[in-house]
Amino acid sequence: MPKLKHLEFKFYAGLAFDEPMGITHCSLQKVVFRSSRWYKSDVPGINTTIAVVRKEAEEHCNMITLCINGNEE
C-alpha cells in the first residue's frame, strides 16, 4: 500500500493498546476513527489507541488530519 492516503478505524470496544500503530506511509494524509454510537471514544482502550496514533501523526513526514467521530483535528 505505498500510495495509501486515507486510513479508517471502526471501534466497538477494546483493551488499551499502546504499541506503535506504524502509520509510516509518506503518502498518508488522513486517519479516521469511528466508534459505535453505543461506545464513546473516551473508553480507555479506544482513547489509548487514539493517543498512540496522535503521537505518530505529530512525528509523520506529512501533516496528517485526524478525524475522531466526525471531529477533525
Cα separation, 68 vs 15, in Å, equals 18
- What pLDDT was estimated at residue 34? 81
Domain chopping of the chain, boundaries? 6-72
Residue showing cell 501533516: 63
Residue 65 has pLDDT above 60, yes or no: yes
Q: Is 19 helix (H, G, I), strand (E, B) or coil?
A: coil
- The yes-or-no verdict on residue 15 having pLDDT over 70 is no
| Position 54 confidence tier, pLDDT thresholds 50, 70, 90 | confident
Q: Which helix (H) or strand (E) holds 49?
A: helix 44-59
Nearest to 33 by CA among 17, 18, 51: 51
Which of 7-11, 18-22, 31-35 comes out lowest in average pLDDT?
Answer: 18-22
Residue range 25-52, pLDDT digits in tens: 778 888 888 877 666 556 677 778 888 8
